[in-house]
Chains A and B, each alone.
Chain A
Amino acid sequence: MNAGTSSAYAFEGAAVALGGQTVWSQADLSVPIGDFAALIGPNGAGKTTMLRVLLGQIPLSAGSCTVFGDPPRRGNPAIGYVPQHYDEMDTDSIRAIDVVQLALGGERWGPRRSSSEDDDRAYAALERVGAAHVARRRLSQVSGGEQQRVAIAQALVSEPDLLFLDEPLANLDITSSHDIVELLRSLATDRQLSMLVVVHDLDPLVAILDGAVHILDGRPHYDPLETVLDSDLLTRLYRAPVEVIRTADGDVFTKGR
């Protein structure tokens, strides 16, 4: 980490293109360390692309970008990543704890025995996300919500300073979704950990978010949550009428008009 920096990640005049097509451009934003931000925008706006730029997997076509003050690079150990898909993997052939352990030096070449210390760290990470009870089970034998916890434990085990989650609430039932939100709430209390979460629906996270990166008309912005919770902004963002409703108790939710 660049010692002088106060931003977790930042863009300056940044643009990105895939296959010659500009995905988004003119990104000028800086998100402070410890911030819990949502990443929102319509389908195809380039939300996952933004994560992949910050992960150093896709180069910018213009401008610049930093993660903790340094240019993005592949394999940055400061970032933990929870992708959206599990469907590629054979969940019957691996245990939860193995999946977590792979994030501890699994990228290193050459023969290496996993130490009992790695085992302890992986177990501790599973404990932190409330999934220690499934540690020795095959992934195929744990529920969708528990699989999501295992994925979060895998991202947390190397103690990153920045956590990316891509649609962590997708395909979960209400109870599991609520449990994951509670887990994110507890992670958000760690002010050294910055989080960026791709979501379709802000409502479940409204109480715990600090702000949101939103990609509006092909241009990413960052605003504090209060600014984002605006009927006009959300309506333009989703290209469908959305109303922000504030109850007397101070609860906020959004509603399609």
Chain B
Amino acid sequence: MSRISVQEQDFDVGQELHAICDGRTDIGATVTFVGLVRDMNLDDSVSGMALQHYPGMTEKALHKIVNEASQRWEVQDATVIHRVGELIPSDQIVLVCIASSHRHDAFEACSFIMDYLKTRAPFWKKEMLKDGSSRWIDARESDDHAAGRWEK
């Protein structure tokens, strides 16, 4: 039921939202999260970023995270798209779209998937700075805390 995609090309949020609801009458709520490339990080101007991933494992990890969300909340359908390759500020990086009977389940499932994606799916960001240098982004403790709040 869920759609998972790791891709270089951009996505159309409206199209994805339409696809997840099309022809269904059992959906009462959708929640959509879109992550974008920001032009500032750690007080430095960012000119672009390169996203690396682990082909094969990434898709498996995302399926596992969506399945776990579906076991915890009522999730009628879910779409997760994560872009890889070269991106510039304002580009869309990630989409999580949840369709559910009820808004509470949709909000919770969407939030859970993003928190787990940030700590468990094998993606790595490398930032290009305006001064021409580049650096791998370090994992953040705040992301571990965010994911930790879902532990039972």
Do these two chains interact?
Answer: no
